[in-house]
A and B are shown apart, each in its own frame.
Chain A
């Protein structure tokens, strides 16, 4: 492979990244032990019995909704690998939580939009378009079809900002890129580390 464009990037420690994944804290050994004992109890721990009652509720169903928010989008794309370093986009601060905006439609039948601004590690990064493509493929695969994505270069972080922005959001060019087997295999390589 040719020399990396940015051979010495700044790296953020994984543990310092905002995430919702694995935030469910591990139970202390103490709680585990007590739980193990309590599991032997015959008293029912599940208050939801009895079943099949005819209770009616207003809603279509009785579940509360967790709306798709910026954190969720960040978690989806943060673990994408950088094409030239063995690091993730979040570790390199290419994607940052504050640079993600989710605009929901009024209901699930209307379009929603996600705007992501990416920060290239250096201003002449030629891989910005590839990174953008990777993010787009990941989101298209992971979010419902009602979402539209706009991926832009963060203002003032790239020499040819407008050009890259155009390329990133040009449907035809994205579609053409996805037809290119070699390009696609690089993208898949980037996505293979997704958590």
Chain B
């Protein structure tokens, strides 16, 4: 076993380490261990320290006491007996006289106070300690660091002995005196923070007697208030090197808490705060208001009863005489949520905080006996303001009343009764008002539009308060009057008064969505008014060609009414909208804008279902012309998607009703209209995708029967022969594309369908129709022929050109390959490799260019292999795409290395052009993430290509460069200087070969685009310097033959000039 270390050695080691600036904690810990293990007694320890503690040398004394304090902090306090405590206390308090030792003495005292055997009463421990601190510790003589120890000592006392302080008045007074002594004149932020905290603790833990009855306490409270309030308002900036990172906000918050912690401060706090409120600095005013708010929240109602009038008088003018634009009458709130995040220097925050304080005040006092007289005073005081419809203070007064009303039903009822009395708003709003007396005639009854607007705004505040209260109030008494007043105003006001009408619509909407406030009939009434306005506005707007603000407002209100609130009411509102609003709209569908209104309000299934039936009826009429049909179908597609995104629904039932009817109508009425059939197809496809997954097998078989087997089906009135090309195929294309990928048909059917399509397609002359058939073929191969790989491979090989080249077979094989490639079938990949081989080896340039173009199909996005909208599971459980997410990446990874090496080794310019163009097509079709790893290899080709005198290579290079600049700027910037130079020359000087311009207009534009991108997308630091002299270099471009080039050059120059600024 190790022998225990010698304490004397440890003490000397401690002193030595401290002198040389090394860590000392190890030695004091060992000493503490010895002491805790009773190997070392207190007496021995003091003796060991003895000579150094009394040393003549100040630094030795300091270190020695520090050693003692550190050891005391770590020792197990159980070993310190009551007697030891007494001895130590005497010893340490005597050391307080030695100023140089104060830091360690205070620290040691704090440890001692926490010791188990430090009992306040025994030997008068606590009192002696506190008296010593008051007597011998003078904060003014010490640095912030030492003063901090004093605060820590007080904190230790409060923490450890709060019960004693709370019960023993003598101790408490003594302690408060010590605190005031220690805290006076403090300036250091860290100390202040602790000072405020201790002050608040004192206020909450020590019971002070009523000030008027106890003079001592009165003085103490005054001192406590002074020692904190003298810092108010705090303006402080954290110094850069502050290790404690104390912010002004920390200090402000703690100070507010402190001021609000003592109700007996109220006598001094309120007047002082009001005085500070007169400051012109919004930050100070906001600080005051937040402090007031805390006081109102913390002080008991009895105190507030005493001071409410002075608070009200001080605060009301903040609102009455200020611009209150920030409070919107149409909003759902008076106090904006998250107003706390506003800047402290924001003037609006002052206004908001004022209302918050008053709100809290009313809430606190609402149960008080004084409340009725409080309401009287408030309302009487504001009477002059709210009674006159002319004054500027009307709106602020109503805002004040509504804000306060929103926190107390009693207050709100009183406010409502006053405002709607005949003397105030009653004679404008109430229909039971009778002007029969002579005096009444003198009152100006005629409301000007401006006054009407103000009145509606003011009503808005009252309605908002009602909404915030959310319980029945006296407002219900005046409900009918309000409703009729607004309704009449909406109906009778001139149409030019848009802003008035918008305001009315907003407030009527607010009334409707006020839960259970309006009856069903009343809601219908409001909707009828809306409907009538819509009718008039539609005519109006259609004439003007743009939607009217009021129309937009009403549309928005309708969406709000049908989407906000509890489920039952929404159901009811939707029904009302369908019966009241929709029919007149449907009568006017041929007017522009009507459909956009319908689109906006169609937010749910119920509405959509009605809409679909009505539209279908319209579509079936002969007089529904092509344009209207297109608009209706597009509107239905939009509405379907919108309703689906608001709340997903299953469209399974649509397959038996809407689907066959719509299918029949669209293909009968628009048999040759490619576009109409195309969008009809998208709608049918959309419906299919949202039919339950289990239904899909049947849908697939139905469609095969209809399109390929020539069968008839119930509900579908459809004539189609697969041997005759028809635009109707678009319907099948979309339906097949949206069928679940796990559906299947028999192998024989697959083979027969494929065969029929392959036989037919080469004979279709119309390009678009041929492409529609080709897409159907690709989907069939992709989804239905999954188990027929070998047969498909056979077809591909049969189609491959023999001696004479045959474009239509080639096109067929490309589309079949597309179907395979999107699901990354090995046979598709094999085809792709073969295609690449042909591209590099086949000398027939026309064939190579065909291959080049085929990459538009192979790597491009085709509608049948992509869904618009966000990916993810849909309600029907259908996964319609049989597409591997990474198929494009796979294609790119296969092609790009081959193309790059082909390009590098190519000797013929025509071939190089084809390789580069192919690469460019791939790059345009593949996402940036896929290209990025390859850009490094591709970029040299591109840069090389810029020096070519071949238009196609130039174009391909520039397009790739354009992509590269956006997606991989780091790679491009390497050779920026020469690149910019080259682009400038391509953009401004013509390269003429054989009297033909090589860099044609589009190439010059592309070069300039690249330059603009370089200067806009790159951080300025990277392009700085490059623009020097560039405007001169670009000058020839200003005289270009083509206007578009001149314009782009001007734009670039303007950009460069702005960079120069």
Q: Which residues of A contact B (CB under 8 A)?
A: 20-21, 29-30, 33-34, 36-44, 49, 51-57, 59-66, 68, 72, 75-76, 108, 141-146, 185, 188, 191-192, 194
Contacts and interface: CB of A to CB of B under 8 A. Distances in A.
B997 A62 contact: yes
Given A42-B811, A43-B767, A141-B1053, A63 B772 contact: no
Contacts of A40: 771, 774, 856-857, 860, 862
Contacts of A141: 1031, 1050, 1053-1054, 1057
A13 to B, nearest CB: 12
Interface residues of B, number: 54
A55 B772 contact: no
Contact of B807 (A42, A54, A72): A42
A188 B1041 contact: no
Interface stretch (B159-167, B652-660, B966-974, B988-996): B988-996
A34 B768 CA distance: 8
Interface of B: 630, 634, 674-675, 678-679, 767-768, 771-772, 774, 807, 810-811, 814, 849-850, 853-854, 856-857, 860, 862-863, 910, 913, 950-952, 990, 992-997, 1000-1001, 1031, 1035-1036, 1038-1039, 1041-1043, 1046-1047, 1050, 1053-1054, 1057-1058, 1061
B674 A34 contact: yes
Given A51-B952, A65-B1041, A142-B1053, 19 more contacts: A20-B1043, A30-B630, A33-B675, A34-B675, A40-B857, A41-B771, A42-B811, A42-B857, A43-B767, A44-B853, A52-B994, A54-B994, A55-B996, A56-B994, A56-B995, A68-B1043, A142-B1050, A142-B1054, A194-B1054
B1038 A142 contact: yes
Contacts of A192: 1058
Contacts of A21: 1047
Contacts of B1053: 141-142
B367 to A, nearest CB: 54
Contacts of A37: 678, 768, 771-772
Contacts of A51: 910, 913, 950-952
5 contacts: A34-B674, A42-B854, A62-B996, A144-B1036, A192-B1058
A57 B993 CA distance: 11
Contacts of A142: 1038, 1050, 1053-1054
Contacts of A36: 863
Contacts of A61: 990, 992, 995-997
Contacts of B1039: 108, 144, 146
Contact of A33 (B678, B849, B952): B678
B387 to A, nearest CB: 35
B320 to A, nearest CB: 29
Given A34-B675, A42-B850, A142-B1050, A63 B1041 contact: yes
Contacts of B1058: 188, 192
A34 to B, nearest CB: 6
A64 B768 contact: no
Contact of A60 (B768, B854, B910, B995): B995
A143 to B, nearest CB: 6
Nearest to B1053: A141
Main DSSP-derived SS at the B contact region:
helix
A69 to B, nearest CB: 9
Contacts of B853: 42, 44
Contacts of B767: 38, 41, 43
B1046 A68 contact: yes
Nearest to B860: A40
Contact of B810 (A42, A62, A191): A42
B992 A38 contact: no
B860 A39 contact: yes
Contacts of B1061: 185, 188
A10 B328 CA distance: 31
A142 B1045 CA distance: 12
Task: Report the 9 A-B pairs with minimum CB-CB distance, sorted nearest first.
Answer: A144-B1039, A66-B1043, A142-B1050, A65-B1041, A61-B997, A144-B1038, A30-B675, A63-B1041, A61-B992
Contacts of B952: 51
Contact of A63 (B814, B856, B1001, B1035): B1001
Nearest to B991: A61
A191 B675 contact: no
A27 B416 CA distance: 57
A52 B755 CA distance: 42
Contact of A188 (B674, B774, B1057): B1057
For A42, A76, A108, A146, the residue with the greatest tally of chain B CB atoms inside 10 Å of its CB is A42
A51 B767 CA distance: 26
A64 to B, nearest CB: 7
A75 B854 CA distance: 42
Nearest to A29: B634
Given A54-B994, A66-B1043, A141-B1050, A39 B950 contact: no
Nearest to B1044: A66
A31 B105 CA distance: 90
B849 A44 contact: yes
Given A40-B771, A49-B849, A146-B1039, A59 B814 contact: no
A46 to B, nearest CB: 9
A51 B592 CA distance: 49
Contact of A57 (B675, B995, B1000, B1038): B995
Contacts of A55: 994-996
A68 B630 CA distance: 42
Contacts of A54: 994
